[in-house]
Amino acid sequence: MKTLSSSRICLAAVMGLLMACSSTKKDVAQAPRSNDLLELLTGFGESLSKRNFAKAVDYMVPEEKALMMEGGSVPTDKQKMLLALRLQTLIRHPAIRVQDGHIAGIYSVLPNLRQGDANPMAASEENLSPDAASADVDALASESKGPMGTPPADASAAAASEDESAAAPLATNNPNDPQLKATVNKFFSAVNKKNWSSALAMMNDGEKKLLLDDRGRIKESSKQRLAQIDQKNREALILQDGKLTGVTLLLPSD
């Protein structure tokens, strides 16, 4: 009886240890929710500096997070894109905002490293190191001195001036760009006419897959979401490789 009792105690201890380990691993990949953009971006940057990509993408809205994951993890090419982001400029980018406690818009500003995209949101090669990422996080944290994490007016002006001199904005992210404007107008025209196939054909392949079923056909719920798309915040859309990116940011929750 004594041996049986000891065995039960050992088994309970082992089970408790396994549950604790499982809980710890889950917590590592779970990002906190907040309505403060600066707080979220700081946590996002800290996760990147620690190479905790699972937690970093958990700061992103679910639609964008799904686009970053493959087989339950963030692939190497997406990791490089995340590390190439200039965190200090995210806080002032018009596409970056808080949505249901997550950061929305990060996916739309990821640099296309394979095509040498001169994205002003991208850092140089030397900034891909953890030290550089930590420096960006520190800079973000230093901006939280204003109310609700808003940087003082003079600091914002100086930073904006620095950004303008550092790089010109992407043409495909400029709402006045003729090609982007034409594509956006065609997309919303197709949506308004419920021409779903034409609308999907203009979307980024990764986002389009989120609206399709296992057979590659548009889901009925996706049609309803597209019919209710936010047509006011068109600045969230960019043109990448001839396709619109950021459409899912304008859709209501599924």
Please identify, among 140, 169, 198, the residue that sits at the C-terminal boundary of a domain: 169
Domain presence at residue 29: no
| Cβ proximity of 122 and 111 under 8 Å | yes
In this prediction, residues 227-233 reach a mean pLDDT of 88
Q: Are residues 163 and 42 in the same domain?
A: yes
Tens of pLDDT, residues 57-102: 999 999 999 999 998 899 999 999 998 887 767 877 888 999 999 9
pLDDT value of position 206: 82
Check residue 235 and give its pLDDT. 77
Q: Classify strands 243-245 and 102-104 as parallel, antiparallel or unpaired.
A: unpaired
Domain edge (last residue) among 139, 169, 199: 169
Same structural domain for residues 75 and 160? yes
Quick one: pLDDT at residue 74? Answer: 94
Rg, Å, the chain Cα set: 22
135, 169, 203: which is the final residue of a domain?
A: 169
* Residues 158, 130 share a domain: yes
* 90, 146: one domain: yes
Domain assignment present for 196? yes
> Is pTM, for the whole model, over 0.75?
no
pLDDT for 107 beyond 80: yes
Judgement on whether residues 150 and 211 belong to the same structural domain of the protein: no
What sign has the CA pseudo-torsion 101, 102, 104, 106? positive
DSSP string, 101-122: TEEESTGGG---GGGT---TTB
Does 54 lie in the same domain as 130? yes
Does the residue 182 lie in any domain?
A: yes
Could you give the number of structural domains in the chain?
2
Domain extent, residue 218, equals 178-250
Based on the domain organization, do 55 and 140 belong to the same domain?
yes
pLDDT tier at 142 (50, 70, 90 boundaries)? low
Q: Are residues 101 and 223 in the same domain?
A: no
Q: pLDDT (tens digit, 9 = 90+) per residue, 3-53?
A: 545 555 555 555 555 555 444 444 457 889 988 888 898 889 889 988 999
Do 153 and 83 lie in one domain? The reply is yes
Could you give phi then psi for residue 103, rounded to 5 degrees? Answer: -90, 125
Is the same domain home to 60 and 146?
Answer: yes
Within a domain: 85: yes
Same domain, 182 and 165: no
46 and 91 inside one domain: yes
User: pLDDT tens digits for 177-228?
Assistant: 889 889 999 999 999 999 999 999 999 888 888 899 999 999 999 999 999 9
Residue of 99, 96, 120 lying closest to 236 (CA atoms): 96
The rounded Cα 31 to chain-centroid distance in angstroms is 13
Q: Contact, 141 vs 134, CB < 8 A? A: no
Residue 22 falls inside a structural domain: no
